[in-house]
A and B are shown apart, each in its own frame.
Chain A
Amino acid sequence: MSATPPVGHGLAAPNAAVGATPAPRGVGPPLKTAHGVGPPLWLLLELTYRCPLHCVYCYNPTDFANTGAELATADWIRVLREARALGAVQLGLSGGEPLVREDLEPLVAEAHALGFYINLITSGVGMSEVRMRALKEAGLDHIQLSFQDSKRELNDFLSSTRTFERKSQVASLIRQHGYPMVLNVVLHRLNIDHVGEILEMAEAMGAQYVELANTQYYGWAWLNRAHLLPSRAQLERAEAVTRRFRERVGNRMQIYFVVPDYFETRPKACMNGLGSVFLAIAPDGTAMPCHAARMLPGLNLPNVRDADIRAIWYDSPAFNRFRGEAWMKEPCRSCPERSRDFGGCRCQAYLLTGDPDNADPVCDLSPHHALVTAAVARAEQAGSAAPAAAPATAPERPLVFRDHRVSIAVVTGDPARGSAPAGRT
């Protein structure tokens, strides 16, 4: 499942150690080397775009049907070794659905032997008692299990599958095998009003960590933005419910509430700046400074079939493109906050304004900020949506489910399904 990135388009601020208050999901402050660039501490392997689910908010590229063959086991193992040698230590195994890969167990075993901390990011579909045991023996450290909702009907509607019962069984397996229990639920207009029930479900399952990740609008979520963007009132209610729940459970359960940045006035410090700590590898071997970066024009992303990780990370033009501040335009270039948020998200700047060098329009200093406030205003007018996709003012285009056939339509240029940037709703 690819609903939310492991470090997120909302990477927590760098943290220190003792005495300071570490941000819960922080990675250490970027280290400087002779290159003036720190190592890729976070490695995300998107092992496949294949997925049994069809989630409407998936961040995978809408044209995924157009990508080349998946890397072979030996290629992935080489990537693991090269990245670990550079200092990568947190490993996310994602997709698509990583359990679709039959070589998941040997990949985990290799990563464990290399010293990675291994996170499996999954819908749970394809997990069995046998595989769970094999993964444990291979050295898997934790499983992040996605749910679409606390209710079977909406879970199954949003993923266009009957998976709720299966996921519940996998949650029990995770607990039985002694893994930390991490639940991930992507929030949006259709389920955000159920946050209280979602948190109660997580508590009943014995979750230690819960990620309430408001949808980030890339890939399929971008196509479906008009259906998914909540109203401000919905968001405020969800935050209040989460706050009260936190007060009740204390530190028994860590709850990460990933704020939907469309409602903010400053952008997220996306990836701590592209090329600073995060390296993602797509199923076909494309190396990316962020898992959505495929969409950026002119980046010429390198491929692990052609170059080693060291050359990709330190030397490739794509990974150096957004390092430092030379690429910035006004208002970022002279902004005192540029070292804090790095101008926000390049993909969002591109999707909304057509230029990845622009300030992220979430920022109210951006001359394009009205694009964001207009989208939020339309969400307000749409009123409170009923589950089953019947908002009071229905968006023109129906919900698009992530699907191979639809992806082929995107590739072949069906204009109703494309993900062209700028001004789309």
Chain B
Amino acid sequence: MSGIPDTAKPAVAHGMRLQWEPAQEAHVLLYPEGMVKLNSSAGAIMSRCDGVRTVAEIVADLERTYGLTGLSGDVAAFVALALDKRWLELRE
């Protein structure tokens, strides 16, 4: 659906910064003159996008961490959205 291969390695895009903000109790994505407060799912996915792990590995990690299954569709959809918004980019 999303066209994101399992072997893709997403990373926070150049010029963007992801960090945990205790005051907001959330991950926030910081970029030139802007800020997006991520919900907990988005924060959990994005904080694993380090340019090293593949989408498949991120899905496996999330499923293990949260004791869930069948997350691959959600993760792929988020990665596609974040790529479109240039929050993430793919590394080789």
| Contact among A19, A22, A119 with B33 in the assembled complex (CB-CB below 8 Å) | A119
Q: In whole angstroms, what is the CA distance A6 to B35 when docked?
A: 12
Residue of A nearest to B78 (CB): A18
CB of A18 within 8 A of CB of B38, answer: yes
Residue of B nearest to A31 (CB): B24
Q: In whole angstroms, what is the CA distance A15 to B26 when docked?
A: 14
Chain B hits for A251, CB < 8 A: 84-86
CB of B84 within 8 A of CB of A89, answer: no
CB of A115 within 8 A of CB of B32, answer: no
CB of A17 within 8 A of CB of B38, answer: yes
CB of B36 within 8 A of CB of A87, answer: no
Q: In whole angstroms, what is the CA distance A24 to B33 when docked?
A: 9
| Contact among B19, B35, B81, B84 with A27 in the assembled complex (CB-CB below 8 Å) | B35
CB proximity to A under 8 Å, residues B51-92: 78, 81, 84-86
Q: In whole angstroms, what is the CA distance A28 to B23 when docked?
A: 12
- Quick one: which of B30, B33, B86 has the most chain A CB within 10 A? B33
Quote the shortest CB–CB distance from B69 to chain A (angstroms). Answer: 20
Q: Does A141 contact B (CB under 8 A)?
A: yes
Q: Does B7 contact A (CB under 8 A)?
A: no
Residue of A nearest to B19 (CB): A115
Quote the shortest CB–CB distance from B45 to chain A (angstroms). Answer: 8
A89-B21, A115-B19 known; A18 vs B33 contact (CB < 8 Å): no
Chain B hits for A182, CB < 8 A: 32-33
CB proximity to B under 8 Å, residues A52-110: 86-87, 89-90, 92
Q: Does A167 contact B (CB under 8 A)?
A: no
Residue of A nearest to B41 (CB): A18
Q: In whole angstroms, what is the CA distance A141 to B13 when docked?
A: 13
Q: In whole angstroms, what is the CA distance A404 to B82 when docked?
A: 47
Interface size on B, residues (CB 8 A): 28
Q: Does A179 contact B (CB under 8 A)?
A: yes
1/0 per residue B1-42: CB within 8 Å of A? 000000000000011010101111010101111111111011
Chain B hits for A27, CB < 8 A: 34-35, 37
Chain A hits for B41, CB < 8 A: 18
A180-B14, A208-B15 known; A86 vs B23 contact (CB < 8 Å): yes
Chain B hits for A366, CB < 8 A: none
| Contact among B14, B15, B30, B39 with A17 in the assembled complex (CB-CB below 8 Å) | B39
Residue of B nearest to A5 (CB): B33
Q: Does A41 contact B (CB under 8 A)?
A: yes
Q: In whole angstroms, what is the CA distance A180 to B21 when docked?
A: 23
Residue of A nearest to B26 (CB): A28
Q: Does A294 contact B (CB under 8 A)?
A: no
CB of B32 within 8 A of CB of A28, answer: no
Chain B hits for A41, CB < 8 A: 24, 35
1/0 per residue B42-53: CB within 8 Å of A? 110000000000
Interface residues of A (CB under 8 A from B): 6-7, 15-19, 22, 24-29, 31, 39, 41, 86-87, 89-90, 92, 115, 117, 119, 141-142, 144, 178-180, 182, 208-209, 251, 254
- Selected A-B contacts with CB under 8 Å, 19 pairs: A17-B38, A18-B81, A19-B39, A24-B34, A25-B34, A26-B34, A27-B37, A28-B28, A29-B37, A86-B23, A87-B24, A90-B30, A90-B35, A117-B31, A142-B32, A144-B33, A180-B15, A251-B86, A254-B86
